[in-house]
Amino acid sequence: MEAVVMAAAKTLPISSLKCGATKSATTASQKKTLSLSSCSVRQAPDFLRDLSVTVAGGRNVKSSRKLQVTAAVAEDRRIEQESMLSEKPATLLRDGQDAEDKNGLRARFEQMVFRIQNEVCAAVEAVDGGKFREDAWSRPGGGGGVSRVLQGGNVWEKAGVNVSVVYGSMPPEAYRAATGSATKKPGRIPFFASGVSSVMHPKNPFAPTLHFNYRYFETDAPEGVEGAPRAWWFGGGTDFTPSYLFEEDVKYFHQTQKNACDKYDPAFYPKFKKWCDDYFLIKHRGERRGLGGIFFDDLNDRDPNELLAFATECADSVIPGYIPIIEKRKDMPFTQEHKDWQQLRRGRYVEFNLVYDRGTTFGLQTGGRIESILMSLPLTARWEYDHQPEEGTEEWKLLDACRNPREWL
Amino acid sequence: MEAVVMAAAKTLPISSLKCGATKSATTASQKKTLSLSSCSVRQAPDFLRDLSVTVAGGRNVKSSRKLQVTAAVAEDRRIEQESMLSEKPATLLRDGQDAEDKNGLRARFEQMVFRIQNEVCAAVEAVDGGKFREDAWSRPGGGGGVSRVLQGGNVWEKAGVNVSVVYGSMPPEAYRAATGSATKKPGRIPFFASGVSSVMHPKNPFAPTLHFNYRYFETDAPEGVEGAPRAWWFGGGTDFTPSYLFEEDVKYFHQTQKNACDKYDPAFYPKFKKWCDDYFLIKHRGERRGLGGIFFDDLNDRDPNELLAFATECADSVIPGYIPIIEKRKDMPFTQEHKDWQQLRRGRYVEFNLVYDRGTTFGLQTGGRIESILMSLPLTARWEYDHQPEEGTEEWKLLDACRNPREWL
């Protein structure tokens, strides 16, 4: 029966953080300690940095018997209800060691994402003239988030920049004693995740949407198992989604991302550009949601300080990579037909985010803050039956580039 | 490794038919013959009428190794590419026994859903003044569909009524010899599915959206296993989704559904009304997408002729249950605020269909005709950050009814 329930329950990935959601993770060295009866692997070669855990609340739960079985798992993994705060706290880290260790990676990463949030919001406000609304929340067990949303602006119809910090833990069922000689049942495996996540949808159909997300994960040793290994990794990316193809914009944007990558490794841009094209595929359409950028995950094969610097470099490339394009396109005249096409592409954005995006789907099922998770959806979207742009038109050119990713540089 | 791949692959239900998609199924009596290593169960008590099969192409596939393993399964289950037809065929049934046996359930069900499609489209056209566009397609192995869509009408911004017939089969890996004495490896398990599916989104924010779907499933004996059992069942329902709550409309609609049910069993309406409330739950919101109706599945505990008559009665209740409400609401004056609220509710409709609806998610992953599957999405939808209707407003009243299902009769 267990196998049946396992297979029927949805499996969800945990390697990408959508702010407002939580994640579970396990360590690279716990390879032999995990019971696969309640875990599943998304990436075989490096699977312990990249593990999926079966989560209930999926689509297939129907019988009361299964509900009971899976509800227990869901209960185990559901994050605590957030409490709204009257103002943004200085840190979302837990009191004590995390908050006090100013030079620790957790603290330095959090300060970086807060700085990025401030700078991106300031840059957007400077162009738009509108102001971001801020919502901050915390959770009883530590962690929380700060969402900033600008809606109905002059340039952007909806722009959001979220920071969040999550303290979570894997259920003990996912874990077996580290060695055959272990006599004590291990406790849960605590993890830490922090990230910044942003989506910005402009009004003008010639101005592209931008998404970026940078995140840092750590797992502790399982409770009750002395000397067990820890793990950490970085992930993230920046990708952009125009409704119309201006080659100069695409080249400019990709060049800024390549420049950031090249400072650290000439192999990064080609690898992360392809990863981005692969990730943002709307499988049922056979097309990407946009024209890519960079995407990476599971980065932990260098000194963590170097990888923090790399993630910072990428995040710092958002403003110079995006704002100049917006400045160029935001006031271009357009017709209702242009607007309708933009709205159809926004529909594709919704399809990707609700059907495929791991952070979104995971967040929806684990009880993250819904409004922060779904902030990524556009203000408005459109679905026309069987819309097919005529070959050679500007709409077709964009679609062709979404279907057949190119090397832009 | 198999267990790992199994758990990581998405599992999808097969009991509900979205026209344009295909399904796999197996029979009630093959209980002991199925290898659970490639099947999973959605409903334990009656699980053989209601079986999920692991399907690849899910969100979690990433490693090349897993891609290889799951690609084989996907290949096995992906339905054949459709060919568009120049006109609607007289039948979508396979030449030979199916098409010739005019008194068989397959033929009678198909004729019923074609008649319903004609009658509903005619009723909608009579009110709207616009005309449905028709697209028909077939698949090399038999089956196909007829989609009718009215877009940009006077009363409805998008209305679609689809009929489809699917011949599919379960992969042999899902099957083990019917008895221990079987010496021959069984072949695939053929199945047949036919249904009508419709969603109609009006323009006026006071006029409700309607969805209905009626479907019939049969499975054959597995190839190469003589005397193995067959199975069949009916499923379907009609539910409606207003943006504003007019109690008289809700009562009227539910009464038409209850009347249809009561002709067959007084226990049907209470049971199927609750099933509908449970099914159309947007879990991450804690609210239903609308105000319900009826929903049932796995019906096979009566004479099939009686159940065909019941499904027919339900389908025949669509027009009298819906059109009078539309007539009453279609010309009511409204403001931009009313329209914006309707658009927010349309956003919820999109969330349900893309995240939870089994027919939609299954169809997207198995290669059904995308435009027919996604015909259910509204022409336009809207997502505002953290929109909270003020308590006591008309918008709040609707939301409250979506959060707390009531007995309307």
DSSP string, B119-166: HHHHHHHHHH----EEEEEE-TTSEEEEEEEEES-SSEEEEEEEEEEE
B385 touches chain A (CB under 8 A): yes
User: pLDDT (tens digit, 9 = 90+) per residue, B264-284?
Assistant: 999 999 999 999 999 999 999
Residue A27 pLDDT level (bands cut at 50, 70, 90): very low
Which of A42, A131, A385, A387 is best to mutate for the B interface (most B CBs within 10 A)? A385
- Convert B172-210 to b/e letters by CB count within 10 Å (16 or more is b): bbbbbbbeeeeeeebbbbbbbbbbbbbbbbbbbbbbbbb
Interface probe, candidates B37, B53, B62, chain A, greatest A C-beta count within 10 A: B62
Q: Strands across the sheet with A189-202, in order?
A: A83-85, A133-138, A143-151, A156-170, A189-202, A209-219, A231-241, A293-299
Spell out the residues 6+ positions from residue B89 whose beta carbon is closer than 8 angstroms to its own.
Answer: B136, B138, B144
- Strands B189-202 and B39-41 come out as unpaired
Q: What is the mean pLDDT of residues A336-353?
A: 98
Nearest by CB to A374, from B59, B377, B383: name it: B383
- Does A269 score more than 70 pLDDT? yes
pLDDT digits (tens, 9 = 90+) for B2-20: 222 222 222 233 333 444 4
- A408 assigned to some structural domain: no
Query: Tokens 């979207």 sit at which residue?
Result: A381
Q: Do B383 and A386 touch (CB under 8 A)?
A: no
Catalytic residues of B: 211
| Alpha helix stretches (DSSP H) within A9-159 | 64-77, 97-100, 105-128
Band the pLDDT of B102: cuts 50, 70, 90.
confident
The model's pTM? 0.81
Q: Taking the CB of residue A408, how many other CB atoms lie within 10 A of it? A: 18
Higher per-residue confidence, B145 vs A368: B145
Are B153 and B128 in contact, with CB atoms under 8 Å apart? yes
pLDDT confidence of residue B99: 75
Task: Kindly state the average pLDDT of the residues B352-364.
Answer: 87
Evaluate whether residue B193 is within a structural domain.
yes
Q: Identify the active-site residue in A201, A211, A254, A338.
A: A211
Per-residue confidence band for A252, with pLDDT thresholds at 50, 70 and 90: very high
Provide, as residue numbers in chain B, all residues whose Cβ is less than 8 Å from the Cβ of A160. 385
A324 is written with which tokens?
């100049």
The answer to whether B31 contacts chain A (CB < 8 Å) is no
Chain A residues 243-282 with a CB less than 8 Å from chain B: none
The per-residue pLDDT of chain A, averaged, comes to: 79
ipTM for this prediction: 0.81
Residues in Cβ contact with B300 at an 8 Å cutoff, skipping those fewer than 6 apart: B28, B49, B231, B232, B233, B234, B307
Number of domains chain A is built from? 1
Inside any domain, residue B408? no
The top-scoring range by mean pLDDT among B140-144, B193-197, B220-224 is B193-197
CA distance A65 to chain B (A): 7
Of A9, A11, A59, the CB nearest to B60: A11
Chain A: give the shortest CA distance to residue B238, in Å: 19
Q: What is the pLDDT of residue B15?
A: 36
Nearest to B244 by CA among B153, B355, B174, B337: B337
**CA–CA gap between residue B361 and residue B370 (Å, rounded):** 11
The sign of the dihedral angle between the CA atoms of A157, B159, B82, B6 is positive
What mean pLDDT comes out for the span A187-197? 85
Does residue B344 carry a pLDDT above 50? yes
Examine residue A126 and state whether it is found in any structural domain, yes or no.
Answer: yes
pLDDT computed for residue B129 by the predictor:
98
d(CA A11, CA A71): 14
Q: Is residue B373 in a domain?
A: yes
Chain B interface includes A308 (CB < 8 A)? no
What is the CATH classification number for the domain harbouring A321?
Answer: 3.40.1500.10
Q: Residue A361 has what pLDDT?
A: 81
Is B166 part of a structural domain of the chain? yes
Instruction: Work out the pLDDT band at B66, boundaries 50, 70, 90.
Output: very low
Which of A62, A65, A356, A361 would best serve as a mutation to test chain B binding (most B beta carbons within 10 A)?
A: A62
H or E element at residue B198? strand B189-202
Residue A106: burial class (beta carbons within 10 Å; 0-12, 13-18, 19+): buried
Q: Kindly determine whether residue A40 and residue B4, on different chains, have CB atoms separated by under 8 Å.
A: yes
Q: What is the DSSP string of B233-269?
A: EEEEEEEEE-SS--HHHHHHHHHHHHHHHHTT-TTHH
> Mean pLDDT for chain B?
79
Q: For residues B30 and B174, which has the higher predicted lDDT (pLDDT)?
A: B174
**B352, amino acid identity:** F
Q: Which two tokens stand for residue A367?
A: 């009880």
Interhelix angle B247-262/B318-329, rounded to 10 degrees, is: 170
Q: Is residue B256 part of a domain?
A: yes
Q: Cα distance from B220 to chain A (closest Cα, Å)?
A: 24
Residue A360 inside a domain? The answer is: yes
> Which DSSP state fits A86?
S
Domain extent at residue A68:
2-403
Nearest to A375 among B41, B283, B385 (CB): B385
Q: How far is A20 from chain B (nearest CA, A)?
A: 13
What is the average pLDDT across B277-300? 96
The pLDDT of residue B181 is: 41
CB atoms A343 and B57 under 8 Å: no
Q: Please compute the mean of the pLDDT values over residues A66-72 and round it to a whole number.
A: 29
Query: In the structure encoding, which two tokens stand for residue B184, read together?
Result: 């021959």
Partner residue opposite B383 with nearest CB, options A40, A351, A378: A378
